[in-house]
Structures are given as C-alpha cells and as structure tokens.
Amino acid sequence: MQPQNNIRLTNRRKVIIEELRKLHTHPTADELYEVVRKRLPRISLGTVYRNLEFLAGKGIIRKLEIGGTQKRFDGDLDIHQHIRCTECERIDDLPAGTAVTRCDREILENTGYEIIERRVEFIGICPACRARRAGEGPGHSGVVDTH
C-alpha cells in the first residue's frame, strides 16, 4: 500500500479499506457504498466498485466469488471459510481450524448454523491451459489482460 508504482493513496481508497475492515459482514459493493457514503457523501458507486476490484487484484482485500447474484468482499486476509444462510443470504466466518468432514455438529455448536449443504470447489489450471502456457515460454509480465 506504498505510493510508488503509480498507486495513489487517495482518501476514497483509504476510507473504503478502513470501513471494509471494520465490517465483519462481507458486504456487497452497494452495501459498502452506503457505509462509506456517511464519511464521503460525494463518493460514487462506481468508485467503490473500481476500488474493490483494484484492491482485490492487489491482494489488499479479498473478493468472495461465491454463489448468489452479487459479489461480496472481505477485509480479512487470513485464510478462513465462510457460511451463508439460505434464508437471509448473510455470510459469516467459520472458526479457523474447522475440519471439512464430520463438522456439521461442531459448526452447529459453534455458530448456531444448521448445515444444509457443503460445497467444495477446487480452482486450478487445466491440462490444456498448462500446455498452452508452457508453449508461450518465459518473458511473461505479471500483468495479463485476459479480455
């Protein structure tokens, strides 16, 4: 979060990070916008979107791309899992160290959540793309435009 490398430490950016870190609710962009607006009444929703995406790309915050129609964001960089209520859509943190298997009872006792479903997703690079990458050879900047 230093200046240099053309990253400017704007007041917008500082407030967005601060308010996201204060919240433990994994807000959507528009939810965080409503909070930030209390300190910066002239900020635009687009600025919140742009900065959340920017900061997630820099690894300063996390973007949760879980199911549902809206993206959610998390100021907590520690590795941890989430639990979502199927009724009200709220997302809570799971206590660290919770095992994936045989943990429904443990989760119920720790959080009060009744487990309905578990979802495990692995994210990686498929054989075809690995081959294509290898063929491209070295000399490969870190910044890639995927569009």
Partner DNA sequence: ATAATAATAGTAATGATTACTATTAACAAA
Partner DNA sequence: TTTGTTAATAGTAATCATTACTATTATTAT
Query: Closest distance between its own copies and the C-beta of residue 114, in Å?
Result: 5
Distance CA 91, CA 97 (A): 18
Residues of the shown chain interacting with its own copies in the complex, contacts defined by CB under 8 A: 65-68, 81-88, 90, 92, 94, 100-101, 107, 111-130, 132-133, 146
Residues of the shown chain interacting with Mn ion in the complex, contacts defined by CB under 5 A: 74, 76, 93
**Residue 93 is inside which H or E element, if any?**
strand 91-93
- Pick the binder of DNA from 18, 30, 89, 114 (CB under 7 A): 30
Query: Closest distance between its own copies and the C-beta of residue 123, in Å?
Result: 4
Work out whether 62 is an interface residue with DNA (CB under 7 A). no
Work out whether 38 is an interface residue with DNA (CB under 7 A). no
Are 4 and 16 spatial neighbours (Cβ–Cβ below 8 Å)? no
Distances in whole angstroms, Cα of residue 131 to Cα of each of 5, 25, 117, 137, 142: 32, 40, 35, 10, 18
Q: Which of Zn ion, DNA, its own copies, none does 112 bind, CB closer than 5 to 8 A by kind? A: its own copies
Distance CA 110, CA 123 (A): 28
**Contacts to Zn ion from residues 84-143, by CB under 5 A:** 85, 87-88, 126, 129
Helix (H, G, I), strand (E, B), or coil: what is residue 109? Answer: helix
